[in-house]
Amino acid sequence: MNRKVSVAPMMDCTDKHERYFLRLISKNVLLYTEMIVSEAIDRGDKNKLLSFSLNEKPVALQLGGSSPKLLANAARIGEEFGYDEINLNLGCPSKKVEKNKFGACLIKEPNLVAECLNAMHSKTKLPVTVKTRIGYNDVEDYKSLFNFINLLKSTGVKTFIIHARKAVLGKFTPKQNLNIPPLKYEMVYNLKKDFKDLEIMINGGIGSTNEIKEHLNKVDGVMIGRSIYHSPYILADIEKEIFNNKNVLSREEIIENLVPYVKDEIKKGTRMNQIMRHTLGLFHGQTGSSFWKRYLSENMCVRDADVKKIDHIMDKVKLAPQAHTATQID
């Protein structure tokens, strides 16, 4: 599987509607689900939690949990649903996640993590991968990170996605954990030097094709998150410059191709705002971006949005560039 560039799993962001939208822009990036808790898969509505369109592929399922049995079961079910990879979240630093004993707090329990990974491997033939951080709280030395990766490698994991910040548990909010701990890219680069047989992907604070190219000189892949959600058309540049694919849809063509999906989902009971909220940043940096965001916010990103307005969305797309002068770029 090509993991040269991937879009990070983001809670309340990378749901199936977002992934369908992003796949219209990029045919090559690897997409990830939001983190789905293994216990929820065990007890909940599996179709609601795991169903997705084949048009989204390749797509990886990210799991959260610390029960080897439940994680193994979730991995098996994920394979049955058609996912291309199973990823274990060892990086989420939220208090709620820590309270339920999954995410970044598991870095403190490497033997339990290894047990979980062994159990997952026993139930699926899919690649089982890990997303983690360089450390936690006061533990952010390279030796500890090396030992952690080396132990997990022994379970058969061959792909590691490393967020180049430590997690500050119990003190910082998830948002603060994305900004305050300093980025230490060199630690991730050193992992690749020391584990040449592993696939090492880097994550954290990366937002441009030039930055991606620089990192790809040192590691195997790059995972990007917030920059894609706020400005999704960056993926068009990635397609052209990283994957050498010049056959990329325009912003207008993307919306035109999204409309049939929206109409089909509305028939299934999906609210229009659940889909269209993901497109707010499509015209970011373009003349008329403010017009687009305002129109969506007032008409399509409200809970009781009039579904008939989707029939006129292309008129609004065409109006957007004319809605402001060239100096009024958002």
Give DSSP secondary structure letters for 88-156: EEE----HHHHHTT-GGGGGG-HHHHHHHHHHHHHH-SS-EEEEEES-BTTB--HHHHHHHHHHHHTTT
CATH class of the domain defined by 5-241: alpha beta
pLDDT at 315: 83
Is it true that domain 251-322 has CATH number 3.20.20.70?
Answer: no
Measuring CA to CA, how many Å separate 4 from each of 104, 179, 235, 290? 24, 24, 13, 33
pLDDT at 321: 63
Active site residues: 92
| Start-end of CATH 1.20.120.1460 domains in the chain | 251-322
Pairwise CA distance, residues 240 & 22, whole Å: 15
pLDDT at 147: 98
Residues of the chain below pLDDT 70: 320-330
Pairing label, strands 30-32, 59-64: parallel
The total number of residues written for the chain in this structure: 330
pLDDT at 322: 55
20 Cβ contact list (under 8 Å, min separation 6): 53, 55, 56, 258, 261
pLDDT at 326: 35
- Answer for the pair 60, 86: CB distance below 8 angstroms, yes or no: yes
- Alpha carbon of residue 70 to chain centroid: 22
Q: Which helix (H) or strand (E) holds 62?
A: strand 59-64
**Phi, psi dihedral angles at 50 (to 5 degrees):** -120, -15
**Phi, psi dihedral angles at 178 (to 5 degrees):** -90, -5
Per the structure block, which two tokens stand in for 119? 């159990």
| Start-end of CATH 3.20.20.70 domains in the chain | 5-241
Pairwise CA distance, residues 299 & 278, whole Å: 14
Helix axes 16-25, 251-267, angle to 10 degrees: 150
Pairwise CA distance, residues 290 & 276, whole Å: 15
Rounded (5°) CA angle 298-300-302: 70
Burial class (CB in 10 A: 0-12, 13-18, 19+), 269: exposed
Strand, helix or coil for residue 326: coil
